[in-house]
Amino acid sequence: MSDSSRRIPMRVTGLLAGVAVLAATAACSAGAADSAAAGGASGVTASMYPLQWLTERVGGSDVAVTGLTKPGVEPHDVELSPQSVAELEQTSLVVYIKGVQPAVDEAVEQHAADRGFDAATVVPTIAAAHEEEGHEEEGHEEEHGHEVSYDPHLWLDPSRFATVATRLGERLAAADPAHAQGYKDRAAKVAAELNALDGELAEGLTGCDSQTLVTSHQAFGYLADRYKLHQVGISVDPDSEPSPARLAEVAEVAKREKVTTIFTETLVSPKVAEVLAQEVGAKTAVLDPIESRPATGDYLSAMRQNLTTLRAALSCS
């Protein structure tokens, strides 16, 4: 995949997202009255793929889920048109994580504050990477639009995501009492699947020769925190360029820890990681932050592929 296909310019991303949402809006508006009259599924909006996957699993046939982020689009860059922002006023619930998508955060605050379900409020969070890493450039938070002190990538810890599933089921049940038991039952089922996945990861990442993850950007803090690994990110986020000093520091860590694999990721150019890997004599492998719909499979299969990748890279027994 070329670099240009991995990263879509912000203005183009915003246009594509707006067109996609407007298309969905047109379809929903045309049939909204008929659907409501017939007792059709409630409309729920999910800001990005992992939340859309979870909402669809918990909501089942009782909700119609609209995603704000198209497959293949880096979610941090999504911009919403005025029309799509206004459409949020019609949705029954917006499922999002504050700190991932500034445009969504602002739209929810202004147009759906009483109908927002922020997954970061129902689980313990960990500190944002730029707070933990004192060498990162000051002002990153303001530049990238994040106004939170925590790492928002919580879906990469299945145990936390299981808690989100349970709480989402409760929120949907409260909003739609007629289908409450269905929401709770489906939430319990998906939570059990996520907890089983958590067990697979815990077992698979025990007894590894290395615990150091050198990643393209600091997206894997929850995975590292849960499974006792150490994340070393080349960049804080996919939009920032690492300084020469930061590259030298990461190279030093990689050599000292005898790192054999530098992790690239989907949607982001691997060039910097490839240069670093060449410098330290390592190879590269893709570790998916699952910020967008996988090319094949779903969230569960993508996490299991990440486990396979990690076991090979960290020499796990």
Tell me the per-residue pLDDT of 162-219, one tens digit each, with 9 for 90 and over: 999 999 999 999 999 999 999 999 999 999 999 999 999 999 999 999 999 999 989 9
| Last residue of one domain, picked from the residues 164, 199, 234 | 199
242 and 260 both lie in a single domain: yes
Tell which residue, 153, 125, 295, has the closest CA to residue 217: 153
195 and 215 both lie in a single domain: no
* Rounded-to-integer distance, Cα 24 and Cα 102, Å: 21
28 and 58 both lie in a single domain: yes
176 and 223 both lie in a single domain: no
| The total number of residues written for the chain in this structure | 317
Parent domain of 158: 3-199
291: CATH:
3.40.50.1980
117 and 228 both lie in a single domain: no
194 and 215 both lie in a single domain: no
How many C-beta neighbours within 10 Å does residue 252 have? 11
Q: What pLDDT sits at residue 316?
A: 97
Counting the structural domains of the chain, the total is: 2
Q: What pLDDT sits at residue 73?
A: 86
In sequence order, which ranges of the chain are alpha helices (DSSP H)?
3-6, 10-37, 49-59, 82-87, 102-111, 129-132, 140-144, 158-175, 180-204, 221-226, 244-256, 271-280, 299-313
pTM: 0.82
192 and 222 both lie in a single domain: no
41 and 186 both lie in a single domain: yes
Which stretches in the chain have pLDDT values below 50? Answer: 1-39, 131-146
Q: What pLDDT sits at residue 130?
A: 56
| Last residue of one domain, picked from the residues 153, 180, 199 | 199
